[in-house]
Structure formats: structure tokens, C-alpha cells
Structure 1
Amino acid sequence: MSSLKGKIAATAFTALAVFAQGIAAAPAARADIQHSRVVSENPVDNTPHVLDGTVRGIAVVGNKVIVGGDFSKIQNAATGSPVIEQNHLFAYDKTTGLIEQNFKPQIVFKPETPPTIYAVAPGPDNTVFIGGRFETINGTTTKRLARLNVSTGAVDTRFNRSTIDFGVITSLVSRGGFLYASGEFGTITDTVTNEHRSNLARLDPNTGAVDPAFNIIASDKRRQAAQLNVRNMAVDQAHTKLLINGTFTKVNGESRPQIAVIDLASTPTLSSWATDDYSGECHPDYHTYMRDMDFSPDGSYFVVVTTGGPGYGITRLCDTAARWETNRTGPRQSPTWVNYTGGDTLLSVAVTGPAVYVGGHHRWLDNPQGYNSAGPGAVERPGIGAIHPETGKAKDIAWNPTRSLGVGVEAFVAVPEGLIVGSDTDQLGREYHGRIGMFPLN
């Protein structure tokens, strides 16, 4: 365990340094699928390998899995398969695991910025949305947000009504006939109506037109050095609630430190749901310690995971997974349960019914007394784990496949066949799986 502690200390420092410089990855964990049981600890053998960089976003369109990130080399799983030079984005067949040869978009990024696809979401008519800080795709100018044909990788030029002046898209959600886009960007502007929004917008998924009925404004960043952003989002399956988190402290002029709930009625409005439990400080270098969020398949609750650094005690929600009930209203909300890592980061969460899956570079769960160590009652769950949705305890689910730690799991997507996992390391379930793998349900 001493070598493991050394590795995690290094990766925690690296992750902190990256975030302090700007946008960190925004994972895309969306678990609309209700599973009947916990997935297997043994990953399937046919998923392809990503040989460098990090997988940061995953979307499933039909039988195709589209994978985005900051990688440059991929490879089919069969022994002896050639290495394929392909940057930032690729697709593979969910059943066979084979990489799609016709999906090879050529993406050019803004100079002197991280060449990364941060967000991937399914689109209509066999398309996929991608978000990042890019400038052109296949020679077509399409800054920071684009829709691509899944079969060919071509830019779908029908999605052309909006332009983004500067910044980055970090989160995309397709739901209810809309595309929700968020991040750290100046303005996204409808070129026909001149309707514009900053950091958070709702778009027509067919044309890209900005929806004028959606006017939710996040403001008042937590720290002077921070950039205002809406880092991550989640929408329930019924399309009644939108969750947002980021560096803001107010939404539509009301106090909402780092997290808010939006009611998605005919005219979306800020919900009265509010909590001060994320107003406390964690490590001073984190402009926001919020990371991923996900609703349960039935929408009755949601789970939020955070980073933050060791040593902040159990009075703050640093380095935790916390369950919140969706139907509650009013201020001063408190979580139903909190699971502490003891000072290690959680980056991603997926809720499938029988389990709340969490991923990061944590070593333990059930560890409220830990201080970068295993406290009383802690259970080892290196890099990935499952929490019982009712008790809030990892000890109540024996699932412990393990993964090599690195910075952590950046993407979860639940599918009927199981749970797809994207990260920055190559050991998953005690086997070699280069940065992507799937735990089967059966």
C-alpha cells in the first residue's frame, strides 16, 4: 500500500495543478438505464484500447460508442492489432468492439490551448455532438461545438445557427428535444435572432438556434482569480429537472453556492431547492470542488461527487459522494447520506438503480475519519467502487474490481449491456484495458 500512496500523492498534485491553471475535465456520466443488478467485476474482452492521454467523454448512438478526449493512438483489442493514429475522437461498435474505420474527423484546436474534446452527447438522425475548444473540423469552421455524422465523421452543416466567441464547452446533455450546453464561454449567439447566453444555454438540436425561453443566468464567481463557469450538468430522464454546478454563487440573482436546480416547465425557472452545504471551502486552489452529478433512473434522487483535498473534516462535503432527494423544495437542504473517501478525489458518478458507481483516484470509501489514510470502517475501493443507494455504504455492495489510479475515471455511461468506463490508465478489473472498458451486466 505504500507504493499506492506514493502514486496517488503524485497524481493528486498533478490534478490540482491542472485544475488551478484552468478547466479540468468534465466527465459525462448519464445513467438513464435501470439495471436489474450490479454489473460484473470482470470487464468484457473486446473493447478497444486508447494508448495515451485520457478518455473524457463517451456517448452511445445506436450501436456505436463515440469516445472523446486528448489521446492520439488507439488499437483494436485483438492481439497484434496495428496501432491507429487518430486524435481526440473515435467510434467503435458496441457489440464487436471494433473501431469504426470511416469515422475519422480531422479536428484543429485553437493554438496554445489544450487539444481536448471535453463533452460528447448523442444527437438526432445518427449524429453526435462534441464540445471543446476546437476551431475547425475537416476544414469546416465550427468553433467549440459541432454535430457530426456518426457513420462518416462529416460535419452536419444543418446545425449552424449559433456561434461562440471564446472559451470552452465542458458539458453537453441531449434531452427532451433540446441540447443543453455549458462551460466557460463568453457568449453563444443565435446568428438569426441575435439571442445570446453566457456559460449556459439551451439549443435546438437540429439547427443550433438559441432557445429564448431558457434564460438561466449563473453569476458571482466564488473567487476573484476564478473564471465564471457552469462546469457540469445533469437532466433527469423525464426532462423535469436540470442540475448545474460550477464556480457561481448565484443563479438568477438568488444565492446558489456552486449548485442549483432548474425546473424545466414550459418556461424554465430556478427551483426553490437550495443548499449551503457546498458553500464551505476545501483546498484553496480549487475554484470549484464540484465534479460530476447524476440522477437515478426514476429521477427520485441525484448524487453529487466532489474533490477538495484531505484534512477538511466531516463538516464539509469535500471528497465525497452525497445523495439528495429530487422532490424536496426550499432552502437549507441536507443530503440523505454522505460517503467520504478520506481526502481522495471523486470525479464521476453513475446511478443505475441497484448501485451508485463512483470513480476517481480514491483509495477508500466509507472513510469519514480518514485523513489521507484509512480510518475506522474504511473499505478499500481503489479507483472505482459502488455505493448502496439506500444505506450510502460501499461495504453493503461487495463489488471491488479495482483500477490503476492515475488522475481518475473521467466518464461513465450505463448501457443495457453494462457500464462503460473511460479514464487515463490501463488496468481495469485486474486486466489490461487501455483507458476504456465495459463491465457487463451478465
Structure 2
Amino acid sequence: MATMTRARLRTLAGAFTAGLLALSMGLQISAHASVSPTPTKTVGLSGAAVYDLTVLDSGRVILGGLFSAVGPLARSNVGAILPTGKADPGFAPTTNGEVRAVAASEDGTRVFIGGTFTEVNGVPRQNLAAVDAVTGALITDWQADTTGTVPTVKSFAVDGNRLYVGGKFTGIDGTTKQKLAALDIGTGDLVSWNTRVNGNVNEVRVSPDGQTVWAGGTFTKVKGIDRAYFAGIDAVTGAPTAFSRDSWGGYVVTVGVSADGGTVYATTENNTIFAYHPTVSNDPLWESRLKGNTHAMAISPTEIYIGGHFGGFNDPSITRPYLASIDPATGDATSWDPKATGQKSGTWALEIHGDTLHVGGLFTHFDGVQQRLYARFAGTPTP
């Protein structure tokens, strides 16, 4: 469930707005065609899964998951791949447990990792840590341990000097703040943010203007106000926004926000993707049903890439194992079909960087071509 910073969302906003204008005028949009269905060859990984990734401005990809090697290099659940597609020999942090969330500071100097570990580079860290983005060395003066019964950090979102943390925990940084918190990027100290949720947070995202924090999970209330599994939360006051969706579909698995902030997306446990204009209506713009859950989304101006453990769409004629794309206006499947194969849990992480889609998961091949746990798909030249 890859993160996207507000700065990167802003860079997409202009293209997104242009795309909507072209659609309204009935013009053909070609500036952001689908990426190739065939991955660009890079090193693969040894192990079970890549659960999250983030792409730095340099093009280096930081990977987190449950794995033992990146290409020929031994790596313990965290690693990096260079823009060339080779394993990064210099970045070598280690954890003693799964890494479920990865994010980078906006200046690209540090990487945050979260999951179910208790040590990073042999030093005690409870499920959350910051490391140097170049070497992977632990940033020793940044510490915000989580507590609870089997605590887990599941998602990050970065906005300026704030790191939003979502997951399953009953305390963080020595406080009793639960499930959703904001930390200072530089110090790791808890930022005063008077909000609370009454259930686990599976995904957290921030609107491009930084004013709204979107969270999805198993909660039903925000600050005591009914909000069914998905909510917009004021980044200053911690109060829920007016948007209040129906609970149909069950708890929320992952969340997406368009580049202009006007549309938000939520995927649910009953295999459905919902799109909303939250300032206009509580009712969905559309619903798209698949044969399996969607774990991750990456939004381009003209389509939404989705990954999960689905085998296809409700229409039995549309098979799309683990990885697909849909039309943002309708939720309908596009023709893009990389034909992924691998373990049933499929795809867990997606991020668009420039004209490339980066993907992490449990897959092993695309249309018979081996590419284990991580893949990148280059953009198609415009006609």
C-alpha cells in the first residue's frame, strides 16, 4: 500500500485537471496512456512478499516486506533497487519481522518503516523506525515505539513535517494514542492532533492541500461521531468532515485520493471499489465489483491501477489476476492486462513515479515471464 507525498500529488494535479477538461470536451486523451503490460526486467527478490514500497526522486525504489534477498544481495525485509534495475549494494538495513509500511520524508533523506518487528539493525524498535535513505543506518535519535497486543503499523502518509501512522496499536511514542497518530518527521515526537478512532486503521492518505486526512479500516466512529469504516478527518482539529458514507460493503481495505483531491476511493472487504465526490454527496459515483479484495491503488490522470488477490471482475469474461486498471469515470475494466501469476495474495503495493508503475506483492510471473515480488512497467509512448 504505497504512499504518495502531497508534493507528488500536486505535480499530478495539473495533468488530472487537464484530463478532466479533455473528457468534458469529448477529446481523446493520449498524454497518459496505459503503461506496457510487460514489465521492464529488473532483479527479483527471494522470500515471501513485498508489502509496500516508495520511490525516491532519484528513482531508487525502497522495498519492505518479508524477504531474504534482493537480487544477489542478502537483505532482511528491507532493500532497495537502483534506477538501473539492479540491487542497491549500499542500502542494507535489517529487521527481525515483517515490514508492512514504507515512506520517505519529502526531502528524501530518511525512510520510515513500520510493521511487526522489534529490532532494526539489531537495535530495539517496536514496529516503527527511521533509517538513512542512502545507507539504511538507523536514525538513533528518532524513536516512536508502538505498544499493544500484537501491535502492527500498517500504513504511512507523509505531509510536510508530519508522518501519519495508521495501524493496530494502543500506544505510540510513550502515549496512549491509538490506531491513528501524527509524528514529527524530524524528531519522532507525537504531534498534538485531537482525533481518535475506535477501530484499526488499514490505510491513511492525505489530500493534496494537506487539510484532510483520509483513513479507512475497521472503525465505526471518529471522535465519537459515526463514520462507517472510512472518513475524512480535519488535519488541524481532528474532527471528521461532513462526508459520511453508508456502511454497505464492510470494513475498508485501502484508500485512494485523486491528484486534485476532488475524488476519493475506498475498497472494501466484500471485493468492491467505491468512488466518491465527498463534498458533493455521501453516495458513491460508482461501484466496481471484483472476484477478490483490492489491496492497493495508484491513480493516474486517465486510469486507476489496482492490485489485490482478485482473479478478475464480476463479469466472468474479464479475467485480471492480481493486477488491473479501471476507468476513473466509471470503474469499468480497461484492456490493460499484464497476466500476473503467483501466490494467491497477489499484489500489495502500487506507486506511479513519472511514466512508470512500480508494483510489489507475491507474484512470480507476468504472461510467463519471471519477475518475483517486484516489477516495474514503463509508460507507453503517446501516438
- Equivalent residue in structure 2 for 1:352, among 271, 296, 300: 300
Structure 2: runs of 5+ lacking an equivalent: 16-31
Distance 1:189 1:51, change over 3 A: closer
2:90: which partner in 1?
A: 102
1:431 is the counterpart of 2:360: no
Structure 1: runs of 5+ lacking an equivalent: 1-26, 76-82, 109-114, 220-227, 282-287, 308-317
1:291 is the counterpart of 2:253: yes
Give matches, 1:102-251, under 5 Å: 102-108=90-96, 115-123=97-105, 124=107, 126-160=109-143, 162-166=144-148, 167-189=151-173, 196-212=176-192, 214-219=193-198, 228-251=199-222
1:401 is the counterpart of 2:338: yes
- Equivalent residue in structure 2 for 1:379, among 313, 318, 325: 318
- Equivalent residue in structure 1 for 2:275, among 297, 320, 323: 323
Aligned-residue identity in percent: 27
* 143-152 vs 378-387, greater mean Cα deviation: 378-387
Deviation at 1:349, TM superposition (A): 1.3
Other structure's SS at 1:170 match:
strand
- Equivalent residue in structure 2 for 1:340, among 289, 310, 317: 289
2:45: which partner in 1?
A: 50
Deviation at 1:28, TM superposition (A): 2.4
Query: Which aligned runs of 4 or more in structure 1 are off by greater than 6 angstroms?
Result: none
Contact 2:34–2:379 (CA under 8 A) maintained in structure 1: yes
Other structure's SS at 1:334 match:
coil
1:364 is the counterpart of 2:344: no
In 1, Cα distance between equivalents of 2:70 and 2:145? 31
Deviation at 1:240, TM superposition (A): 2.1
In 1, Cα distance between equivalents of 2:75 and 2:208? 33
- Equivalent residue in structure 2 for 1:421, among 344, 347, 359: 359
In 2, Cα distance between equivalents of 1:349 and 1:125? 22
Contact 2:297–2:304 (CA under 8 A) maintained in structure 1: yes
In 1, Cα distance between equivalents of 2:194 and 2:234? 12
Deviation at 1:122, TM superposition (A): 0.6
Deviation at 1:301, TM superposition (A): 0.4
Other structure's SS at 1:425 match:
strand
1:84 is the counterpart of 2:78: no
Deviation at 1:61, TM superposition (A): 2.3
In 2, Cα distance between equivalents of 1:349 and 1:429? 21
Deviation at 1:125, TM superposition (A): 5.2
In 2, Cα distance between equivalents of 1:73 and 1:125? 24
Partner letter of residue 350 of structure 1?
A
Other structure's SS at 1:299 match:
coil
Partner letter of residue 88 of structure 1?
N
Distance 1:125 1:39, change over 3 A: closer
Deviation at 1:65, TM superposition (A): 0.8
Deviation at 1:362, TM superposition (A): 1.8
Post-superposition CA distance 1:353-375 (Å, at most 9, x none): 1101111222222x2xx6xxx2x
Post-superposition CA distance 1:262-310 (Å, at most 9, x none): 122x4332111101233x55xxxxxx4x211111111110221223xxx
Other structure's SS at 1:71 match:
strand
Other structure's SS at 2:118 match:
strand
Using the size of structure 2 for normalisation, the TM-score is 0.86
Contact 2:277–2:284 (CA under 8 A) maintained in structure 1: yes
Query: What is the number of residues matched between the two proteins?
Result: 353
Distance 1:350 1:429, change over 3 A: farther
* 230-239 vs 146-155, greater mean Cα deviation: 230-239
Other structure's SS at 1:399 match:
coil
In 1, Cα distance between equivalents of 2:57 and 2:118? 28
In 2, Cα distance between equivalents of 1:388 and 1:171? 25
Deviation at 1:429, TM superposition (A): 5.1
2:268: which partner in 1?
A: 306
Deviation at 1:398, TM superposition (A): 1.7
In 2, Cα distance between equivalents of 1:158 and 1:125? 18
Contact 2:255–2:267 (CA under 8 A) maintained in structure 1: yes
Partner letter of residue 322 of structure 1?
F
1:37: which partner in 2?
A: 33
Other structure's SS at 1:52 match:
strand
Partner letter of residue 243 of structure 2?
W
In 2, Cα distance between equivalents of 1:102 and 1:43? 25
In 2, Cα distance between equivalents of 1:106 and 1:340? 39
Post-superposition CA distance 1:131-179 (Å, at most 9, x none): 012222223222211110021111112323x332331111111113210
Deviation at 1:243, TM superposition (A): 1.2
1:255 is the counterpart of 2:226: yes
Partner letter of residue 272 of structure 1?
A
